[in-house]
Amino acid sequence: MKAQLINVIAGIWIIAAPYLFGFNKTAADVNHIIGPLVVLFSFIALWEVNRSARLLNIITGICLLLSPWVFHFSPPFAFTINTATGAVVMVCSLFKGKINHQYGGGWLSLFRKSPPHLQMTDERTVN
């Protein structure tokens, strides 16, 4: 959960950075599109049941990391900010953190042959 909190802050930082350091318009637009998505995914992932939403930030992290190579970024400091924050977002999205509650097998259960919630009801029926 701490890793996802870091990503929420990283997302807000990415949105604020163009104003703080006077990014050019293209660079600012990139940050203003990716930043809210980073916040969205990590915020949703703060809750255990949707912790998997953090994995979407691997994609946004890579986009951030690569953005200065694809688009024209100025000042030079903008390059550093986006690559560094992109790396942080990517790494933090890999940490699952503790899961304290049970959710019948979670979202993946819907695609499994024998998820925990079905096993449990089948046992009850046999007994």
Partner 1 sequence: MHNSNIPPAWDYNPSSRKQRNHLVITAVAGLCIALYLGLYQLHIFSTVWDPFFINGSKEVLHSSVAKSLPVPDAFLGAFAYLMDAAGAFIGGEHRWKTSPWMVLFYGMVVGPLGMISIVLVIVQPVFLHAWCTLCLCSAAISISMISPATDEVLATLQYLQRVKRHGYPVWKAIWGDEAIRSKVQ
Give the 3-state secondary structure of residue 18. Answer: helix
Binding mask 94-123 for partner 1 (x = CB under 8 A): -------xxxxxxx-xx----xxxxxxx--
Please report, as residue ranges, which positions from 44 to 63 form the binding site for partner 1 (by CB under 8 A). Answer: 44, 46-47, 49-50
Q: Residue 97 or 105: which CB sits closer to partner 1?
A: 105
For the bound state, the minimum distance from the C-beta of residue 67 to partner 1, rounded and expressed in Å, comes to 14
On whether the CB atoms of residues 61 and 94 are closer than 8 A, the answer is no
Token pair for residue 102? 């049970």
Looking at 37, 56, 58, 62, which residue binds partner 1 (CB under 8 A)?
37
> Which of 65, 53, 48 shows the shortest CA–CA distance to 14?
65
CB within 8 Å of 113: residues ≥ 6 apart: none
For the bound state, the minimum distance from the C-beta of residue 22 to partner 1, rounded and expressed in Å, comes to 14
CB within 8 Å of 19: residues ≥ 6 apart: none
* Contact set with partner 1 (CB under 8 A): 15, 28-29, 32-33, 36-37, 39-40, 43-44, 46-47, 49-50, 101-107, 109-110, 115-121, 124
